[in-house]
Chains A and B, each alone.
Chain A
Amino acid sequence: MNSVTPSGNAAAFVHRYAGLAGRLPGASIPEIRKLREAAAETLVAGGLPSRRVEAWRYTDLTPMLRAEFREALTAVDEAVELPAKRAERRAVFVDGRFRADLSDLDGLVAGSLAEVIETVAGRLNSIASASQPMVTLNTLLFEDGLVLEVPEGTDAGRLELLSVASGETASTLHPRHLIRLGRGAQLVLLETALSATGARHLHNPVFEIEVAEEARITHVRVQREAESAYHLAHLGVRVAEGGVYDGFVLNAGGRISRSETHLALNGPNATAHLNGAQLVAEGQLADTTTALDHAAPNCASRQTVKTVLAGRSRGVFQGKILVRREAQKTDGYQMNQALLLSEEAEIDSKPQLEIYADDVKCSHGATAGALDENSLFYLRSRGIPAGEARAMLVRAFLQEAVEIVEDEPAREALEEAVSAWWAQHGEAA
């Protein structure tokens, strides 16, 4: 790539790759080198998506593309302050890189991607598709990530995955997390993405998650990054017969945040939960995009996504459900609801059902509205001050999504994030 002068809107990233290529993990592995070169070519040829691309119609990346970031892999803040533990085991990434000194993976088959890159080279982009823009960008620059195997029949319990962006001028972080659950295995993965300072950064994580027969993963993502941050996540998930992916994504930070999940139910009787909530205030945009592929019969999918918008803010929900011809007896449910606390807030909602099987049960719905005046008056007539009454109703609106999360520490993490958000933005709302 060094010979090419990059152009187009992703030039800065390609240029950065050219400078870093020899230092990124897997630099000496031809297979990985090839993946990265291909990603560079894709970005040079097509760039990162503009709003002309249908899937990115509502989420304009221009501010991120115009922003300047510090070079990756430079010195990081060693003394970063971490939040209290929510699980006994935790994997900590600071500025995209695994910190063994801060992590505790006792008893788990887990470690840093950079360290075991040779053994997992063949798995990269096997679940997440290289044609997805955020996967392409991550492929170009991934510097580390969590590699986790939960062996057949074992319950790995709860693991916290903590990602912290530190420093005054933060960089771009592109972690690649590879997670595999063997037959009948179980895991609760509680992920938190934070910024140690208010500095701008780009966090572009890609997950590749494989759930084998009868295995079950609960994956709760709590994104609470700085208001100047860009968070562009891509989750590739594959679920085999009888397996369960129980996911929840909270977007509660960042100037632009998008969490995009592509999940395939590949075996019969598999289940997917793609729930979530988004909290946006002045100047922010949050986007939950999902593509759910029902590729086998007798599978169930559930999706409840709630968005609360304050000030001049934008919310996006795009939910595609594909039910293939062979996916008979599919049971699908999708609901997305937006609560607009300001007249200047905007929600774009695009449910998209494509059904080719003839014996299925699929329902979906979307609502958008302001706080109910009747409810507000009822609470106030009982002596509850207006601000507190509004907070109760906002929390109640989110509750329907949050209460689906069964894992208590995960639910607490979500509730705490909601409270923190309201404490910061509720007054203005």
Chain B
Amino acid sequence: MLRIENLTAEVEGKPILKGVTLEIPDGEVHAIMGPNGAGKSTLSYALSGREGYEITGGSVLLNGQDLLEMEPEERAAAGLFLAFQYPVELPGVGNANFLRTALNAIRRTRGEAEVDAMQFLKLARARMKELSMPEDMLKRGVNVGFSGGEKKRNEILQMALLQPKIAILDETDSGLDIDALKIVADGVNAMRGPAFSALVITHYQRLLNHIVPDRVHVLADGRIVASGGPELAQRLEAEGYAGVLEEAA
């Protein structure tokens, strides 16, 4: 269970989140939709502990653990995963080495045995096949020379390997064609189960046709202004944000 209570945050002294309250029970997928500038990405960075996103109030608990007290790597070990809107390219860091280092870092903190290179390859290959990723993507630098779709699939691959308790997908649909979108959605759906929950941040309803959420929330001007079932997303798609925002105001 991820419990966000009255969370406020600033970027460069400017208040962006103005009291976000949200609960995502285990096993559920929630979507956050909202117009540009609503604070969607700020919420994802604030939750994952990025520098420059200053928390000014509120609390975030993951299964009772205070996330805000933790370093980014500790949040990852606690089970939080952020799929980046713009995955970073890391020339000179091999993708396989990166994935295995991350996996072992997390396994270490969980008190699990590290996997060796052979075990890792076996694991990674199986996941990559599911995501239709060519095997040479393991040998290349992290995200270097990857297409937009390949980068997003690489994010999902990381999620599949690290097995988080909760994943935040920050505009994972941006820049994807319909085939890539389906592959990514299948990857997320494959993770669904009683021990996994997700927060899908998106501007459009399109992704939610493939990853059907249990709940949909509308974020505007740093607050959740409306919540509902999947039908809320369809209404937003049909009517735009204006109507929903007016109702909330």
B162 touches A378 (CB 8 A): no
CB within 8 Å of A: which B39-75 residues: 48-51, 71-73, 75
Q: Does A383 contact B (CB under 8 A)?
A: yes
B82 touches A381 (CB 8 A): yes
Q: What is the bound-complex CA distance between A381 and B74, given in angstroms?
A: 8
Stretch in A283-291, A293-301, A309-317, A393-401 touching the partner: A393-401
Q: Does B77 contact A (CB under 8 A)?
A: yes
Interface residues of B (CB under 8 A from A): 48-51, 71-73, 75-77, 81-82, 84, 87-88, 90-93, 97-98, 101-102, 105-106, 109, 141, 158, 162
Q: What residues of chain B lie closer than 8 Å to A384, measured between beta carbons?
A: 73, 101-102, 105
Q: What is the bound-complex CA distance between A389 and B51, given in angstroms?
A: 15
Q: What residues of chain B lie closer than 8 Å to A380, measured between beta carbons?
A: 49, 71-73, 76
A381 touches B90 (CB 8 A): no
B92 touches A383 (CB 8 A): no
Which among B48, B49, B92, B101 is the interface contact of A399 at CB below 8 angstroms? Answer: B92
Q: What residues of chain A lie closer than 8 Å to B48, measured between beta carbons?
A: 381
A382 touches B102 (CB 8 A): yes
Q: What residues of chain A lie closer than 8 Å to B75, measured between beta carbons?
A: 381
Q: Does A386 contact B (CB under 8 A)?
A: yes
Which residue from chain A places its CB closest to the CB of B77 in the assembled complex? A383
Which among B71, B76, B91, B102 is the interface contact of A400 at CB below 8 angstroms? Answer: B91
B158 touches A382 (CB 8 A): yes
Q: What residues of chain A lie closer than 8 Å to B106, measured between beta carbons?
A: 382-383
Question: Are A381 and B92 CB-contacts (below 8 A) given A373-B51, A392-B101?
Answer: no
Q: Does A374 contact B (CB under 8 A)?
A: yes
B105 touches A388 (CB 8 A): yes
Q: What residues of chain B lie closer than 8 Å to A28, measured between beta carbons?
A: none
Q: What is the bound-complex CA distance between A377 and B98, given in angstroms?
A: 13
CB within 8 Å of B: which A356-397 residues: 373-375, 377-386, 388-389, 392-393, 395-397
Give, as a whole number of angstroms, the nearest-CB distance from A257 to chain B. Answer: 24
B90 touches A383 (CB 8 A): no
A383 touches B84 (CB 8 A): no
Q: What residues of chain A lie closer than 8 Å to B93, measured between beta carbons?
A: 392-393, 395-396
Q: What is the bound-complex CA distance between A91 and B233, given in angstroms?
A: 74
Q: What is the bound-complex CA distance between A398 and B91, given in angstroms?
A: 10
Q: What is the bound-complex CA distance between A377 and B52, given in angstroms?
A: 11
A375 touches B88 (CB 8 A): yes
User: 4 tightest CB-CB pairs across the interface, nearest first?
Assistant: A396-B92, A383-B76, A399-B92, A382-B102
B101 touches A386 (CB 8 A): no
Q: What residues of chain A lie closer than 8 Å to B76, measured between beta carbons?
A: 380-383
Q: What is the bound-complex CA distance between A288 and B12, given in angstroms?
A: 41
Give, as a whole number of angstroms, the nearest-CB distance from B231 to chain A. Answer: 33
A377 touches B50 (CB 8 A): yes
Interface residues of A (CB under 8 A from B): 373-375, 377-386, 388-389, 392-393, 395-400
Q: What residues of chain A lie closer than 8 Å to B84, measured between beta carbons?
A: 378, 381
5 contacts between A and B (CB under 8 A): A380-B49, A383-B162, A384-B73, A392-B97, A392-B98
A385 touches B73 (CB 8 A): yes
Q: What is the bound-complex CA distance between A383 and B82, given in angstroms?
A: 11
Q: What residues of chain B lie closer than 8 Å to A386, measured between beta carbons?
A: 71, 73
Q: What residues of chain B lie closer than 8 Å to A383, measured between beta carbons?
A: 73, 76-77, 102, 105-106, 109, 162
Q: What is the bound-complex CA distance between A374 and B106, given in angstroms?
A: 20
Give, as a whole number of angstroms, the nearest-CB distance from B170 to chain A. Answer: 11
Which residue from chain B places its CB closest to the CB of A399 in the assembled complex? B92
Which among B50, B72, B92 is the interface contact of A395 at CB below 8 angstroms? Answer: B92
Q: What residues of chain B lie closer than 8 Å to A389, measured between beta carbons?
A: 73
Question: Are A388 and B101 CB-contacts (below 8 A) given A382-B76, A383-B73?
Answer: yes
Q: What is the bound-complex CA distance between A386 and B74, given in angstroms?
A: 10
Q: What residues of chain B lie closer than 8 Å to A377, measured between beta carbons?
A: 50-51, 72
Which residue from chain A places its CB closest to the CB of B106 in the assembled complex? A383
Question: Are A375 and B72 CB-contacts (below 8 A) given A382-B102, A383-B162?
Answer: no
Q: What residues of chain B lie closer than 8 Å to A400, measured between beta carbons?
A: 91-92
Q: What residues of chain B lie closer than 8 Å to A373, measured between beta carbons?
A: 51
Q: What residues of chain A lie closer than 8 Å to B81, measured between beta carbons?
A: 381
Q: What residues of chain A lie closer than 8 Å to B88, measured between beta carbons?
A: 374-375, 378
Give, as a whole number of angstroms, the nearest-CB distance from A384 to chain B. Answer: 5
Q: What is the bound-complex CA distance between A375 and B81, given in angstroms?
A: 16
Give, as a whole number of angstroms, the nearest-CB distance from B189 to chain A. Answer: 22
